[in-house]
């Protein structure tokens, strides 16, 4: 048990080291395929701060990583005829923005797939003549609106997404042309739109994995598939129903001390435990499962 305690202590020290600003990563990014900036983030790193994109086509795959805005501005995209710009973003969790999580203005374009917008002021803001497609995403616990649209000019296509406990409204209601924008989306209830608790493992500890009973599971776009071969889930961290990799409790494709921490919380505090937490398949969650993961890591 002393050994496990040392591992857990080491994890928290380790996690403090592995952080970086999103701006730094953006500045270092290289072009790839048709993108001017092609960015793949590390799921175990916390990225901090916002980002301004005002030229070029940008791709960001967070792979489940968290972008902590630290109470500041979010990620904004702006374009005009002289400087076109777009952002494609996947598997990102954006949290703690005092203004917005993500904003599009001018004639910018966006493609947002499997992202979480949590505890910002506005999860998503659209201005001017921006054109944004959203699917498989969660807007929850935002301080004002999940989505806010200004004027009747932006075009938004939203489907297979979840809204939950955004304090004033899930979508901004008092902007001109709102009915025209949303008519084709039929958001009540709309194409795959859900208004339920996403059932994160523990959002207060930034654990945005889904519980096994979450309505997000298999309710994403039916034309997309998760790594376990099932219909896509809603949210930034798909739920691996097959426990494909024994001991990989957070479904990030890696077995490490983060999985041990999750299992210790399950055992000690009876926090939501999925079937994947029963590593030795004895129908119990206890120290034996923890030791099994430790052995997997060591060996």
In this structure, are residues 130 and 108 in contact, taking their beta carbons and an 8 Å threshold? yes
Residue 189 to residue 194: CA distance in whole angstroms: 7
Residue 279 to residue 40: CA distance in whole angstroms: 30
Q: Count, in order, helices (H) and strands (E) of the chain.
A: 5, 22
The DSSP secondary-structure symbol of 246 reads T
Q: What is the pLDDT of residue 227?
A: 77
Residue 180 to residue 21: CA distance in whole angstroms: 38
**For residue 5, with 0-12 CB atoms within 10 Å meaning exposed, 13-18 middle and 19 or more buried, which class applies?**
exposed
Domain ranges of the chain: 19-242, 244-299
> Which residues, given as ranges, of the chain have pLDDT below 50?
1-17, 174-175, 177-186
Question: Look-up: residue for tokens 């910018």?
Answer: 108
Q: What is the pLDDT of residue 207?
A: 87
Task: State the CATH architecture for 19-242.
Answer: 3 Solenoid (2.160)
In this structure, are residues 45 and 24 in contact, taking their beta carbons and an 8 Å threshold? no
Could you tell me which of 175, 108, 101, 173 has the C-alpha nearest to residue 138? 101
The DSSP secondary-structure symbol of 276 reads G
Residue 118 to residue 140: CA distance in whole angstroms: 5
Could you tell me which of 90, 106, 99 has the C-alpha nearest to residue 50? 99
- The string of pLDDT tens digits covering residues 93-144 is 999 999 999 999 999 999 999 999 999 999 999 999 999 999 999 999 999 9
Output the CA–CA distances (angstroms, integers) from residue 214 to 123, 158, 211, 236, 298, in the order listed: 21, 20, 5, 13, 32
Strands 169-171 vs 51-53: parallel, antiparallel or unpaired: unpaired
Q: What is the pLDDT of residue 106?
A: 97
End-to-end Cα, the chain, rounded Å: 18
Residue 145 to residue 61: CA distance in whole angstroms: 25
Q: What is the pLDDT of residue 30?
A: 97
Q: What is the pLDDT of residue 208?
A: 92
Tokens encoding 262: 């999750």
Residue 236 to residue 153: CA distance in whole angstroms: 29
Question: Look-up: residue for tokens 């961290």?
Answer: 237
Residue 49 to residue 275: CA distance in whole angstroms: 35
Q: Is the dihedral of CA 25, 31, 32, 35 positive or negative?
A: positive
Domain boundaries 244-299, corresponding CATH code: 1.10.1330.10
């Amino acid at each position: 048990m002393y050994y496990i305690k040392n591992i857990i202590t080491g994890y928290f020290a380790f996690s403090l080291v592995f952080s970086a600003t999103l701006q730094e990563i953006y500045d270092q990014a290289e072009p790839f395929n048709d993108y001017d900036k092609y960015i793949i983030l590390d799921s175990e790193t916390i990225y901090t701060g916002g980002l301004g994109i005002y030229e070029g086509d940008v791709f960001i795959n967070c792979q489940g990583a968290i972008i902590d805005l630290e109470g500041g501005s979010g990620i904004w995209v702006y374009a005009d005829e002289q400087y076109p710009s777009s952002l494609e973003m996947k598997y990102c969790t954006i949290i703690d923005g005092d203004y917005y999580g993500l904003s599009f203005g001018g004639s910018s374009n966006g493609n947002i797939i499997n992202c979480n917008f949590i505890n910002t002021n506005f999860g998503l803001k659209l201005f001017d003549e921006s054109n944004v497609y959203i699917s498989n995403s969660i807007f929850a616990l935002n301080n004002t609106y999940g989505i806010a649209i200004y004027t009747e000019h932006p075009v938004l296509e939203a489907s297979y997404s979840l809204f939950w406990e955004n304090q004033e409204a899930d979508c901004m209601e008092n902007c001109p042309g709102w009915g025209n924008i949303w008519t084709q989306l039929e958001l009540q209830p709309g194409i795959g739109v859900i208004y339920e608790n996403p059932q994160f493992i523990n959002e207060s500890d930034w654990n945005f994995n889904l519980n096994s009973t979450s309505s997000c599971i298999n309710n994403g776009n039916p034309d997309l598939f998760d790594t376990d071969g099932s219909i896509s889930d809603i949210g930034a961290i798909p739920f691996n129903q097959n426990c494909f990799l024994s001991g990989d409790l957070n479904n990030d494709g890696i077995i490490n001390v983060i999985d041990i921490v999750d299992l210790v919380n399950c055992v000690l505090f009876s926090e939501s435990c999925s079937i994947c937490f029963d590593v030795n398949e004895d129908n119990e969650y206890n120290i034996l499962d923890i030791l099994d993961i430790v052995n997997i890591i060591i060996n």
